[in-house]
Structure 1
Amino acid sequence: MSRTDPPDFGVLLNLAFAAFKDALDADLAAAGFDDIGTSFGYVFRLLAPGPCNLSELASQLGMSAPGALKVVDDMVAKGYVVRSADAQDRRVKRLQLTGRGHAALERARQFHRAYEQALAQRLGAAPVAATRTVLEAMTAALAERGGRMPRPT
């Protein structure tokens, strides 16, 4: 590949995600959420509808229970998640977002909307809508193949 060749599509996707993630992390840090780990976003979204136990969470994340436990322990220590006893089985711990967890998720969602709106203002609504269509088609293809959410690292 010469220096004038455009980057491969996958490389471009990766670089675009890195730019987005850097801007998101900076925005969250400015709002007081400067301690969010790389896997927290997945957990925030999975716990937002309501509590679940560690086994359910690990399954939805596509990772082992010990791996999910490590993420959850970090989130509990930082005040984003709380554990409570299950009403039917006291041995089972339910995981749920704290007020801080909900606030961080809402801030991230606001950032996502604002980022997309800023791109639309800069580039036009049509190219941004077309990009969203391409990304949705790519993720739908993954789901059709039985894929799941990427395993957080």
Structure 2
Amino acid sequence: MSTKAMTDFGILLNVAFGTFKIQLHKRLAEKGFDDLGSSFGYVFRLLEAQPQSLKQVASALGITAQGALKVINDMVAKGYVERHEEPGDGRSKRLALTPRAVAAMAEAHRFHVQFERTLAAKFGADQVGVMRLILEHVHADASADGMATVRPF
């Protein structure tokens, strides 16, 4: 039996995610989305289904409204988010994705699919299918515990 210590599972997961994220950002930069902030993906996912208020975004990210405002202002300046007046309340704004953000999301989705296909080509579709099944169970357990939303901080 080897005396060499195995790498902790959490470290393997962290390095795998870090590698995935680096490759994703490289692909997005190649496609013209080279100005993405570290929290943009989380906001994209939040606004993908429907526009939300700044307060809702802050709550979902687990940060203060001031922190969310800083991220949103950066996203507005870079053309990824736009503000719309709330009908009946000119003070309240709804945040929505722009066509540029939708295009970035589409490219990110394509990358996700290609990444999984590349793994399947390297390790076999069955192996990757088992890995996906395990990760889906972890996600389901997190959802049941109220932890399915991944927060950037």
Which of the five TM-score ranges fits, normalised by the shorter chain? Answer: over 0.9
Pick closer, same or farther for the CA change 1:78–1:3 going to 2, 3 Å.
farther
Q: Percent identity?
A: 49
Structure 2 residues not aligned, in runs of 5+: none
Is the 8 Å Cα contact of residues 62 and 148 (structure 1) preserved in structure 2? no
Aligned to 1:130: 130
Per-residue Cα deviation, 1:43-77 (whole angstroms, up to 9, x for no partner): 11111122111111122222221121111111111
- How many residues get paired? 152
Structure 1 residues not aligned, in runs of 5+: none
Pick closer, same or farther for the CA change 1:92–1:120 going to 2, 3 Å.
same
Q: More deviation in 62-71 or 108-117?
A: 62-71
Is the 8 Å Cα contact of residues 139 and 148 (structure 2) preserved in structure 1? no
Aligned to 2:50: 50
Is the 8 Å Cα contact of residues 28 and 107 (structure 2) preserved in structure 1? yes
**Using the alignment, how far apart are the partners of 1:94 and 1:53 within structure 2?**
5
- Return the offset for 1:29: 0.4
**Using the alignment, how far apart are the partners of 2:131 and 2:3 within structure 1?**
25
Is the 8 Å Cα contact of residues 62 and 149 (structure 1) preserved in structure 2? no
Question: In the alignment, residue 55 of structure 2 is paired with which amino acid?
Answer: S
Computed over aligned residues only, the root mean square deviation of the Cα atoms, in angstroms, reads 1.6
Aligned-partner SS, 2:6: coil
- Return the offset for 1:33: 0.4
Aligned to 1:62: 62
**Using the alignment, how far apart are the partners of 2:139 and 2:62 within structure 1?**
16
Is the 8 Å Cα contact of residues 83 and 95 (structure 1) preserved in structure 2? yes
- Return the offset for 1:122: 1.2
Is the 8 Å Cα contact of residues 28 and 104 (structure 2) preserved in structure 1? yes
Is the 8 Å Cα contact of residues 52 and 94 (structure 1) preserved in structure 2? yes
Equivalent residue runs for 1:102-117 within 5 Å: 102-117=102-117
Aligned-partner SS, 2:75: helix
Aligned to 1:26: 26
Q: Does 1:10 align with 2:7?
A: no
Aligned-partner SS, 2:38: coil
Normalised by the length of structure 1, the TM-score is 0.92
Q: More deviation in 78-87 or 49-58?
A: 49-58
**Using the alignment, how far apart are the partners of 1:98 and 1:146 within structure 2?**
29
Is the 8 Å Cα contact of residues 42 and 151 (structure 2) preserved in structure 1? no
- Return the offset for 1:3: 8.3
Q: Does 1:118 align with 2:88?
A: no
